[in-house]
Amino acid sequence: MPGPRPRSLHPLLLEQSYWRNRLQVLRLARPSVLLIPRPELTTNAVEVDEFRIRTHDGIRLFGLRARHRMGTSQTPARIRVVGPCELPEVDARNLGPGETEFVFQSPAGRRLEDRVLDVLRICQVATQRDDVRADDVRLVSTDLQRDEFLIASQLLADEVPAPLPDLEGESSMVDRRPR
């Protein structure tokens, strides 16, 4: 018995002119990221922080960032999303050496357009904060058919236009880790 076929998106969901305008909104909204250490979740191998991010439309997303302490400087990042009724949890067993995982909670009732921009914002933060190249970001989901991941993956692949602009200055990212 053959497995399920991957679902394709309606072509209008990938319309370049539509997303070009939305990505401009993402580019203009100054990102605001706060990292808070979570020592109760941190292990010898994995460092865990809670992050809070302000989205393009002012909504606050929160989640966990887990970073494996071993590894190289250029490492991949995984991004996962959980539903509004689930708490973000780190999947440390599947975190490889040097790899970083961002898992965030999607607010209830969020439109598809906004969920796509939220995923792109997390990708932006991952590439700026954790020495990750944009092509090393993987969108991981237990639900293989997440529309926001399918659209964001296509936008990242097409780079319509470059969806991951540089963050403006270090002041946009606050790290509460003791130095």
The answer to whether 90 touches 46, Cβ cutoff 8 Å, is yes
The pair of structure tokens assigned to 178 is 């003791």
Domains of the chain: which residue ranges?
A: 31-165
Beta strands 32-37 and 46-54: pairing type? antiparallel
Task: List, as one string, the DSSP characters of 16-74.
Answer: HHHHHHHHHHHHHSPPEEEEEE-TTT--SSEEEEEEEEE-TTSPEEEEEEEEESSS-SS
Q: What is the pLDDT of residues 19-77, one digit of tens each?
A: 888 888 777 777 788 999 999 999 988 999 999 998 888 889 999 999 888 866 667 88
Question: Which strand (E) or helix (H) includes residue 132?
Answer: none
The answer to whether 93 touches 134, Cβ cutoff 8 Å, is no
Q: Which of 57-76 are b and which e, b meaning 16 or more Cβ less than 10 Å from the residue's Cβ?
A: eeeebebbbbbbeeeeeebb
The pair of structure tokens assigned to 92 is 């440390």
Task: With both helix axes pointing from N to C terminus, report the angle between 16-28 and 112-129 in degrees, rounded to the nearest 10.
Answer: 50
Global pTM reads: 0.79
Using CB atoms within 10 Å of the CB of residue 10, give its burial: 0 to 12 exposed, 13 to 18 middle, 19+ buried.
Answer: exposed
Counts for the chain of helices (H) and strands (E), in that order? 3, 7
Sequence-distant (≥ 6) Cβ neighbours of residue 99 within 8 angstroms:
67, 68, 71, 75, 76, 77, 78
Q: 31-165 has which CATH code?
A: 3.40.50.1820
Residue 64's beta-bridge partner residues?
50, 103
User: What is the torsional sign of CA 131, 77, 121, 35?
Assistant: negative
Q: Residue 147's pLDDT band (boundaries 50, 70, 90)?
A: confident
Inform me whether the pLDDT recorded for 171 exceeds 60: no
Q: What is the pLDDT of residues 84-99, one digit of tens each?
A: 999 999 888 888 888 8
